[in-house]
Structure 1
Amino acid sequence: MSIEIEIIEVIEELPDGEIVEIVEVVEIIEADKKPRNRVVRVDNKDNGETVHLRVPLSKTIDDVIAKTYDEFRATRRPDDRLTCRGDGVDVFQYGHMSLEHYLREGHCPKLHWAFAGGTGGA
């Protein structure tokens, strides 16, 4: 049986527009379950950073949230906000859903989120 690695990738955009990918292994899956991916963009309103994550549709929103916190070197607090840039809807409430289910139900189709710590941001 062959195996394939399913990953969430951090994608960096250089000033000239070139994309650089940094790969982090998340889990190993069987090759016949080939992941399909989408890019999630998260803007940190506290410090101006932006992270682009290439995420397999099988990952949960909680997985994406955890990776976002890792990339922003932040610890989750109860008063943090993570919202869809398009409609302002809270993303945390969908943590249990897979990314595929989240999109299928029509939530934040552009996958552009805004993060703000409870005591920072606009």
Structure 2
Amino acid sequence: MSALMDIWNTIHAILTSADWITLALIAVCVLAAGFAIQGLNAIVSATVLALVGFAVLIFARAVTMGGHPAVAYANTVWHDFLGLQMLTLIAYAVIFAVLIVVVHVIRSAVFR
């Protein structure tokens, strides 16, 4: 049970500590994945693809708004990814998967 609480606390920390632009980028990725999937059997691949898209958008945001040089920043981001805790990655995957399912269910109900 403590593992579930750890995941829940990480999800809560991600959602409450993110800025509005990051939350908007999450929404864009989730909406795109939710509208793209044909059925719930593709939720795992849609979640992975949405996470990759989110990472690319965060990288593009840092390069354009932060003024970081792209090549040097790509190396830094890659090393940060290698040091990423599995709990954080699982929390992001759960957030994306749940939101993609919600978007897909709403889309399926509205466009019948």
Normalised by the size of structure 1, how large is the TM-score?
0.30
If each structure's strand is expressed as a fraction of its own residues, which one has the higher value?
1
Higher relative CO (Cα under 8 Å, sequence separation at least 6) belongs to 2
Structure richer in helix, relative to its length: 2
TM-score normalized with structure 2 length: 0.32
